[in-house]
Structures are given as C-alpha cells and as structure tokens.
Amino acid sequence: MGIAAEHLVKCYGRRTVVDDLSFSLEAGCVLGFIGPNGAGKTTTMRMLCGVHPPTAGRVLINGIDPAEDPVGAKRGLGYLPENAPLYGSMSAETFLAWCGKMHGLSGTELKKALCRVMDACALTEVAGEEIESLSKGYRRRVCLAQSIIHSPSVLVMDEPTDGLDPNQKREIRTLIRTLRGHCAIIVSTHILEEIDAVCDRVLAICRGRQVFSGTVPEFRAISGGSLEDSFTRLTLPEEGAVK
C-alpha cells in the first residue's frame, strides 16, 4: 500500500512545469516534499491526487492508476489542499458528513468516523457552526478532518500547517505522527522545520526537476549543517544542484 510516481511530466502549452519526476512511498513513511515557490510542488500534488492528468508518466495509488480508474484510485486517498477551500455555508459537521458520504460511509460507520476525526482534529466544540464563521485554524482543521475521515492509506497534504499558530502546528504534527502508522503521507511545505518534526524522507524539486531524494540526515549532510543551507544549495542556481 502506498503511492508511486513514474516519470511524471506536466506541461502547460510549451511550458514544462514538472519534468520527469519519480518516487515511491510506502505506508509508515512521511515524505517531505519541498521546493522554492513556483517549483511545481502544487501541480505535482494535484497530479498525485488525480485532479490534474499528467502530460506523460503515471501515478499509482495503491497500485491503481487514477487515469485508468479514477474512482478506485481515489478511494484510498486523502487530500488536504492548500488554503483550505471549503463550502462556507455548511456547518463543520454537515460538511464532514457530506465528505464521508462521498467516500461511501453511512450509518454507524459514518457516525464513528465523524466522532473520530472531530476528536482527532479538536472540532467537537465548533461542530454545529458554519464554516465561514470559523477561524483560519479551525478551517484548516476541518479541511484536515475531511482528508482523513475515510481512513485513507495515502495522505497528500499541501502546506498542512500554513497559517496556524505554534500550538496548532504542534497538534497537526502530532496527528501526522499518529497517522503514519497505517498511512503513506506526503507533506508539501515551505517550512523546513516540518521536515525535522515529522518527515522520514525528503524529496526536493526545483523548476520542476527533482534535485534531491533521500533521508533527512542525508538532506542535512548536503550542507553539513542546517536544513536551510541544504535547501539553498539545492535550489539556488549559483550554488549548483546536487543530487
């Protein structure tokens, strides 16, 4: 169980946004997906989730290609998009129930799943409130809750702690550690401290091309010191790309 990308390419017209990206990830592992702004992280994440079809190459979610069987592939996938886009007019509980039903949950199974995710994401006290009236932190948590309501085996998280206060960040990181036991998790982030806090492996891209893939200690060893220095050496042209 896990996710794999094989020679992924995405072009918009003549512009190549993602160029020959390959990796695989098994359950029990958290992959930190990093890169500078405009490197192609979000486009890659959307291809991984079957939202955007790749121009070339393929994605396998639990061995299923979303281009061939989108419904089957996405059954085992949870996706936390950037900026928590939600239906503001629904209450948190109604929205989560709706997402659960979209994944085929119903009856007692749905109720249990609702209790589980609302408890895990600390949403119980705002369950009945309309999403548009919630704070950014709560909206982020609702979005996280919808991504795990069906207990996915692959979880793709785009900037999961963006805009959260330090306490909320800590809660989300704890949750990611809890989920890693039965889940392959990809965390796309700008925040390098996330890498130290939750990730086992790092995949770095720059201008759509893979510039590093390895463990966190290997990533740190690039500069022989901080994660930030390693990131700079990999992504700034004058420093020279190291693979």
Partner 1 sequence: MLIIYKMVRNTFVECIREPVYFLMLLSALCINGLYPTAAMFVFREQIKFVVDSVMATSLIFSLVAAVVCSAHTISREMRNGTVLLLLSKPVTRLAFVLSKIFGIIAAVTVFLFILNASALIAVLIAKDQFRLEFGLMGAYYGALAAAAIYGGARNYFKQVSFTSNTLVALLILVPVIAAAAYLIRTSGMDMHDIAEDEFIEARHLLPALVLLFPAAWTMGTISAALATRIELVANLTICTLIFLIGLISKYFVLQWVGDGWFGSFLRTLLPNWQYFWMADAMAARQVIPVSYILWALVYVLFYIGFWTLLALAFFNERELAKDSR
Tokens describing residue 207: 């201008």
Question: What track of x and - describes contact with partner 1 for positions 123 through 162 (by CB under 8 A)?
Answer: -------x------------x--x---------x------
Q: Report the side by side order of strands in the sheet with 30-34.
A: 77-80, 154-158, 184-188, 30-34, 201-206, 209-215
The piece of 66-74, 176-184, 200-208, 219-227 that touches partner 1 (CB under 8 A) is 66-74
Report strand pairing: 184-188 vs 209-215. Answer: unpaired
Counting contacts by CB under 8 A, is residue 79 touching partner 1? yes
Counting contacts by CB under 8 A, is residue 86 touching partner 1? yes
Cα 104 to its chain centre, rounded Å, is 22
Counting contacts by CB under 8 A, is residue 82 touching partner 1? yes
Counting contacts by CB under 8 A, is residue 110 touching partner 1? no
Smallest distance from partner 1 to CB 89, Å: 5
| DSSP assignment string, 79-98 | EE-TT----TTSBHHHHHHH
How many angstroms separate the CA atoms of 121 and 129, rounded? 15
- Interface residues toward partner 1, by CB under 8 A: 12, 42, 46, 49-52, 70-72, 74-75, 77-79, 81-83, 85-87, 89, 98-99, 101-104, 130, 143, 146, 156
